[in-house]
Amino acid sequence: MYILDKLVVLLRLPKAVAGELVRLWTIDDHTYCDLVKSWRGYHPALMQDNYTLQTEDGITFYLGFGTYGKDYTSWSMDAKLEFNPAKVGNSRWFKNLYQMLIQRSKFVDFRRFDVAIDIPVPRSHLRLLKDIRKYSLLDYGGENRTEYLGVRSNHGNVKLYNKALEQRLESDLTRIEITVDYANSSWQEFQRIFPRVMDLHSVAPPDGLKGTKRVLYLACSADPTLLRELPFRTKKEIEQLLQSTARFIAPDKLSYSNILAEILMYGNRVSVDKWADLSDVEFELPDKWTKPEVKFDVIEGEQEEMK
């Protein structure tokens, strides 16, 4: 199941818009959502004025105004809207705010989005294979394991984690999240950055595999953490056997096309002359300010070039 999990929209609009919204939030006017908290940014990684807002259902999202360090002497200022369409897309309050921001904007840039792929299997059944992107792992034992490829908020970033554990679900659910730049979101590009995720539950011993190697193969397919206890050469041999016999999660073209179609629904009110590249506004916002329910911290690092 594919879900549009996050959409990041950059805007350039009159400075008066921010003041108008703050005034409405202060008097507890619900037209454009409720203010949960606000903070001032004093770092290049932040906007100058930052707000966590919530819908009538209590779902939170982020809106920021003013790129840090930028001199706003003209009529305009930059803004960043970051939200989860699956959670706020049907909110009347959010629709009011979104339409107002689009209407008042001089320029609009759909910057990036996250594709979430939910697979109803235990986390231990799936394993993320390394490639030339930076690999990171948070392993707390058992089903509490999160793997990463790439750099947070960058094109091609991947996260594989236990969604059931995060949401305290009774049924098994593992999620793959992939970050995609909207300007580079073709099907061919999505195929290129799609991670190699091995389904260990699908493996079957190759014909002729006997003795100790067969035992190790079966044990490691049931519990991949056992690979770490093997001698290096044996570990590599068992890993190769698992990779050659396991099923890999494949990208689905129709599901991805539906994600792009959903994004276009948010752009159907944007006139052609408003589309622009506002990449100079882009920055990285810590998850803890927009998604306080996230269980795992993200490990960051240097992004390696993808061929």
The pLDDT, as a whole number, for residue 45 is 67
Backbone dihedral region of 281: left (phi > 0), alpha (psi from -120 to 50 degrees) or beta? alpha
Residues in the chain, total = 307
The pLDDT, as a whole number, for residue 67 is 82
The pLDDT, as a whole number, for residue 147 is 95
In a domain? residue 134: no
d(CA 93, CA 112) in angstroms, rounded, equals 23
Q: Compute the C-alpha angle 133/135/137, nearest 5°.
A: 160
The pLDDT, as a whole number, for residue 301 is 39
User: Distances in Å between the alpha carbon of 117 and those of 160, 176, 207, 235, 241?
Assistant: 10, 5, 33, 29, 26
User: Distances in Å between the alpha carbon of 276 and those of 98, 155, 233, 305?
Assistant: 18, 19, 53, 26
In a domain? residue 29: yes
d(CA 274, CA 102) in angstroms, rounded, equals 9
In a domain? residue 239: no
Query: In 3-state terms, what secondary structure has residue 101?
Result: helix
Measured in degrees and rounded to the nearest 5, phi and psi for residue 203 equal -75, 155
pLDDT tens by residue, 226-243: 878 888 998 888 888 888
In a domain? residue 274: yes
In a domain? residue 164: no
Q: Please say whether the beta carbons of 287 and 298 come within 8 A.
A: yes
The pLDDT, as a whole number, for residue 306 is 39
The pLDDT, as a whole number, for residue 294 is 41
d(CA 166, CA 239) in angstroms, rounded, equals 28
For residue 193, what are its two tokens? 């950055």
In a domain? residue 147: no
The pLDDT, as a whole number, for residue 72 is 59
d(CA 54, CA 57) in angstroms, rounded, equals 8
Count: domains in the chain: 1
In a domain? residue 183: no
User: Distances in Å between the alpha carbon of 184 and those of 110, 126, 187, 189, 193?
Assistant: 11, 27, 9, 7, 11
Question: Across the chain, where does the E strand assignment appear?
Answer: 2-14, 34-40, 47-54, 60-67, 76-83, 107-119, 126-128, 135-139, 145-149, 158-162, 174-181, 197-199, 247-248
The pLDDT, as a whole number, for residue 302 is 36
Query: In 3-state terms, what secondary structure has residue 143?
Result: coil
In a domain? residue 90: yes
Relative to beta strand 34-40, strand 247-248 is unpaired
**Domain that residue 99 falls in:** 2-114+261-287
Burial class (CB in 10 A: 0-12, 13-18, 19+), 4: buried
Residues of the chain falling short of pLDDT 70: 45, 69-73, 280-307
pLDDT tens by residue, 159-179: 999 999 998 999 999 999 999
d(CA 43, CA 55) in angstroms, rounded, equals 28
Q: Please say whether the beta carbons of 61 and 84 come within 8 A.
A: yes
Q: Which residue has the tokens 């706020």?
A: 88
